[in-house]
Amino acid sequence: MRDDAIGERVRLETRGETLCVRDALEGEELRLVSDTEPDPEPALTELFPFPVDRAVSFEAGSISVPDYSAVTVRRADGEFVARLDDPMELRRGSYCFDVSGVAKALIRATDVAVSTTGMADSGAVDLEFDRSVTVTVGARSLHTRPEATITVPDDPAALAEAVSVLGSSIKEFSAERSWPTLRGYPPRIERGDALDIPSPLVPPDTGVEVVVRPDYADVYRLSTLSYYLGARMVTGNAPAIRLANGYIESLPTEGVALEERAAELLRTWFFLDTLTRTEGYVPSDRYEYELVGSELPFYPPKLADLSMSERLMEYLEVDAETVAPYAPDWPTEAVLRPNPTGAELLPHLAHVLAPVRVRGTAEPVDSGAPDALATSPWLAPAGGTPSPDDDPLPAGTSVLTPASYENRLRRETTASGDVRFVALVGSAERATRTRRALSEPAVPDGVGEWEVLDEPDAEAVGTVLSDPDVDVAYCALPVADGAVAAADDTVAVADLGDAPTLTVFEGTDGVDGGLAAVENGGLGSVAVAGPPSSTALRSVVALLAAGTSMTASVSLSGLADETRIRRVGDPGVPVASNSVSAMQVNTVRSESPTSHRFERGSVLSLQDRIGIEQTQLFEGFDELSELVGTTRTNGPAVDSSQLLAMLEQDDSIVRFNDRLLLPSDDLSEADVERMARRALAEDASEGAISGSLAEERRPD
């Protein structure tokens, strides 16, 4: 990418003894305080082992890194040394200090001994050099929002040109781009009269081309793959991928086969990239490699220094079925109509690496039918890929609109512990049940405020459903055609000026109210066909408040098992943020009243995007890292006390014999063992019935 394309993403400015790292895209500033007033000179960005947007050098004897930043010590070539949790003495050498705060900064100093403080006390981290040295500071935007907007006319060929520059947000095109932090948010696309690509944006120079026929279906189906490859999208007679070495990978011409092949290539190449990077920026020993490595014709890290085309040639030797069982479940898969309305969704779908399928007619028969849908592995429609023409929409489907993504770029996410929940109910009896569900035995962790309004009037309903400070609004009042029946009047959701983060409408299969809530500023909505049990209601609130994504919360709570669910917004949208890693899902089965076997997985979301890794620290697992979104099925057996310890972890979800357990349930070991005995008895009873039926049906 040209320097002028990235120059304004960050600014490095001095203010007295402070070097201010200004992330222009994020509107945030990270301060680095020197012992003397810096006199910075431009420096080469190539000096750093990781991508940076801009760099400067100056003389300093010490640097102080402010509060709320994580600092990692690396050697000048990027090799990991330590996290600065505690004070350290670093012997003479060349170091790169990796600073992650409200902006990303790298501090490079060569031939120097360093005395440091640590982050354990949550204060500033001080780097004291043994002499005055030339310090080079590089900075990179966190790039969690688009930096520009591309205008595209209603012309598939013009849209193909726009897709060609979506990859301008990716920091580099080695296998390291499989880390989500190196895939910045692609530029927006908006429909207009003529093609306008802002001058700083250029297609990446990867030498790869994706050929599409000049129609929306081809462009959509290949858009996310093109983005990930940093490929130039060009029009031609038949779909194909052209590599810089002249090799052409022909793609199917039939629509469903084309989208399946595109998704297959994206999954395979992405997964192999995550293995290739294991000796790179963040060295790791991968659990998935232990499972699949012997079946690969190469040792992935050996491919790290190859060009994109050379690497892909090696990857093409791997059968997709070889790696598919070990790749993460794709958190979002999209379905678009073959018309121009889906164009504005493409950058948002590329950002989450969502495969795109095309279904339905270009012009919907019903004017109210959606233009775009999404599915999730947590709650997949029973009939497979849905169509925007389906009436009614299959249960488990999400409706996508650009507003659901754009609203997330504007709204701050509430921290877990501060979540505000409000329920609107139509009777005193229902209010009592709801209050009891939320408060007994204790209010779920993560919920800071909650209230239940009994038979609210129209003014109260309108106030709640237009309050952006409400994180979850649960509306159990009658709703039809996007209007809620209050005690004295109806409230049209579309007429309200704002919206809670997530609105749940009970008693409807329609998404009119949810669409209106998202258009008003919400991030998502859920339509619940029937009233949930108290257990499911309590569980879904607890999961949302803990930071679990919308769809995983609906699924893991058991709510989707009780009634039909339809949603608006990306399936991975979270209501709350947590300060720990991605949410862990522990599925536990009792082997006896005191011994329980478990498997451990994790939840991807818009907050924890595909490509991140984690290491299981729970006793009984090895310390190999793994991709978030995968599941380990070889978990150890644990006793009841260990299960309760697992339950207390901030990032942990526990499903015990198909029942969700919550920290606020205040369980004892005796409670766990009693539930285990009940589950084992039920399994034995079901097994006896099944055996009896098998005996009856056995042929003579």
For the chain, which residues make up each domain, given as ranges?
3-140, 149-363, 398-577, 584-682
pLDDT band at 687 (very low <50, low <70, confident <90, very high): low
pLDDT in tens, 388-399: 999 999 999 999
Residue 66 has pLDDT above 90, yes or no: no
The CA distance from 529 to 566, in Å, is 8
Residue 562 has pLDDT above 80, yes or no: yes
Q: What angle do CA 18, 24, 27 make, to 5 degrees?
A: 85
Look over the chain and give the mean of its residue pLDDT values, rounded to a whole number: 93
- HEC profile for 109-150? EEEEEEEECCCCCCCCEEEEEEEEEEEEEEEECCCCCCCCEE
DSSP letter at 91 equals E
pLDDT in tens, 5-30: 344 889 999 999 999 999 999 999 99
Residue 627 has pLDDT above 60, yes or no: yes
Residue 130, both tokens? 């043994």
Longest dimension (CA), the chain: 94
pLDDT in tens, 252-272: 999 999 999 999 999 999 999
Q: CATH assignment of 398-577?
A: 3.40.50
How many CB atoms lie under 10 A from the CB of residue 690? 10
The CA distance from 446 to 560, in Å, is 22
Q: What is the mean pLDDT of residues 429-442?
A: 96
Pairing of strands 398-399, 28-34: unpaired
The CA distance from 607 to 588, in Å, is 26
Complete DSSP assignment for 534-548: HHHHHHHHHHHHHT-
User: Residue 322: phi, psi to the nearest 5?
Assistant: -70, -40
User: Residue 234: phi, psi to the nearest 5?
Assistant: -125, 155
The torsion defined by the Cα of 285, 290, 294 and 296, in degrees rounded to 10, comes to: -60
- Per-residue pLDDT, 636: 82
Contacts of residue 15, Cβ cutoff 8 Å, sequence gap at least 6: none
Q: Residues of 472-483 as b/e, b for ≥16 C-beta within 10 angstroms?
A: bbbbbbebeebb
Q: What is the mean pLDDT of residues 221-238?
A: 98
Residue 122 has pLDDT above 70, yes or no: no
- Per-residue pLDDT, 282: 85
Residue 699 has pLDDT above 50, yes or no: no
pLDDT band at 696 (very low <50, low <70, confident <90, very high): very low
The CA distance from 334 to 349, in Å, is 8
Residue 2 has pLDDT above 60, yes or no: no
User: Residue 37: phi, psi to the nearest 5?
Assistant: -70, 120
Residue 368, both tokens? 């109210």
Q: What angle do CA 190, 191, 192 make, to 5 degrees?
A: 115
What residues are paired with 423 via a beta bridge? 452, 474
